[in-house]
Homo-oligomer: A and B are copies of this chain.
């Protein structure tokens, strides 16, 4: 069958025919691919930069792709023919308690696998067989933006984790019982930043986004429709006179950014790190450490959503189509056909300016 394959740690991607007997499968539900999403992780693999990427056990290549929507091809195991489904990409180690209860996002052994990234084949291929346990239903009416449920799941999990963490504070809700008085700063206006901002708005919080430039036209639409504030951080964060209950680093830039934003954190606040910084050092001088202690501040690394978060993501995407209709229409930047090999490989190679999400359509 046709598939997009990679050979990590070597750079490069190929659209080619592969022997389906060589490929990993995970269950009995036959799924024909409909869409794949492309994200930064795919590009790091294609560019040979993702050190954790590796082959699946049985051959010298890996099928790429961890964002996918497919169509159930034969009725099986509770699924009807024609239903749209999305596979959960990280799958447990089979050993630790968190994996046993379906939560490999908190795997304790590190021996989980991730389809299309390390250990098992991904979903950029004509079809695969999967286990119902790993399949999330996508409503037909969400076909247009449903591919975002995978990246949004990571963010659902992150926000859920922060809300869970803040139960350490006896009352973190406001005097009307909501979270409306809580302020969030999301640093970075890429797809991750936008999804974080929309999700925190959906939970009722006041949201600020920041980047080192004025917002693009697309970003401006999102900011206006979802009532998100914006700060241009080109000249540093000193002029930002707000304090935030939650700050999210969604940049994956230099770790020194963290030095600049930590002082903006409110008492009892949480600094969540979602991106992977690629240079620099996060330095907290002893006075700032004292301040963290005196005012109960907290720093946490945020990673990976699981099936419950995919399902939440579906609900939230569905709600955004109603609540943020203009924004919803901007979330898919482009759809390229799998038959347009050149465009597909280009999209896999590098991010387009202003891109939120590019998807591949298997027509």
**Docked complex Cα distance between A100 and B94 (Å):** 13
Q: Is the CB of B273 within 8 A of A315?
A: no
- On chain A, which size bracket covers the interface? 35 or more
Answer whether residue A267 sits at the interface, using C-beta atoms and an 8 A cutoff: yes
Q: Which residue of B lies closest to A202 (CB)?
A: B315
Of the candidates A165, A168, A275, A297, the one having the most CB atoms from chain B within 10 angstroms of its own CB is: A168
Answer whether residue A299 sits at the interface, using C-beta atoms and an 8 A cutoff: yes
* B-contact 0/1 string along A266-303, CB 8 Å cutoff: 11100001111111111111100111111111111111
Answer whether residue A353 sits at the interface, using C-beta atoms and an 8 A cutoff: no
Q: Is the CB of B294 within 8 A of A301?
A: yes
Q: Is the CB of B102 within 8 A of A173?
A: yes
7 contacts between A and B (CB under 8 A): A100-B100, A164-B168, A167-B167, A173-B308, A318-B318, A318-B322, A322-B322
- SS of A interface (majority): mixed
Q: Is the CB of B98 within 8 A of A169?
A: yes
Nearest first, the 5 A-B pairs at minimum CB distance are: A102-B177, A292-B301, A318-B322, A293-B301, A319-B319
**Docked complex Cα distance between A55 and B134 (Å):** 42
How many copies of the chain does the oligomer comprise?
Answer: 4
Residues of B close to A319: CB separation below 8 A: 315-316, 318-319, 322
CB proximity of A318 to chain B, nearest CB, Å: 4
- Which stretch, A7-15, A63-71, A105-113, A343-351, touches the partner chain B? A105-113
* B-contact 0/1 string along A154-185, CB 8 Å cutoff: 00000001001101111101111111000000
Q: Is the CB of B173 within 8 A of A171?
A: no
Q: Is the CB of A100 within 8 A of B308?
A: no
Given contacts A161-B168, A322-B141, contact A306 B108 (CB under 8 A): no
Residues of B close to A294: CB separation below 8 A: 276, 301, 303
Q: Which residue of B lies closest to A225 (CB)?
A: B139
**Docked complex Cα distance between A93 and B226 (Å):** 34
**Docked complex Cα distance between A165 and B315 (Å):** 23
Q: Is the CB of A255 within 8 A of B322?
A: no
CB proximity of A263 to chain B, nearest CB, Å: 14
CB proximity of A202 to chain B, nearest CB, Å: 6
Q: Is the CB of A285 within 8 A of B281?
A: yes
Q: Is the CB of B286 within 8 A of A255?
A: yes
CB proximity of A69 to chain B, nearest CB, Å: 15
Q: Is the CB of B281 within 8 A of A286?
A: yes
Q: Is the CB of B101 within 8 A of A97?
A: yes
Answer whether residue A334 sits at the interface, using C-beta atoms and an 8 A cutoff: no
Q: Is the CB of A177 within 8 A of B307?
A: yes
Residues of B close to A204: CB separation below 8 A: 308, 311
Residues of B close to A298: CB separation below 8 A: 165, 298-301
B164, B167, B286, B302: the one contacting A293 at CB < 8 Å is B302
The A218-240 residues at the B interface (CB cut-off 8 A) are none
B107, B176, B268, B316: the one contacting A106 at CB < 8 Å is B268
Answer whether residue A323 sits at the interface, using C-beta atoms and an 8 A cutoff: yes
CB proximity of A143 to chain B, nearest CB, Å: 11
Q: Is the CB of B307 within 8 A of A178?
A: yes
**Docked complex Cα distance between A317 and B315 (Å):** 10
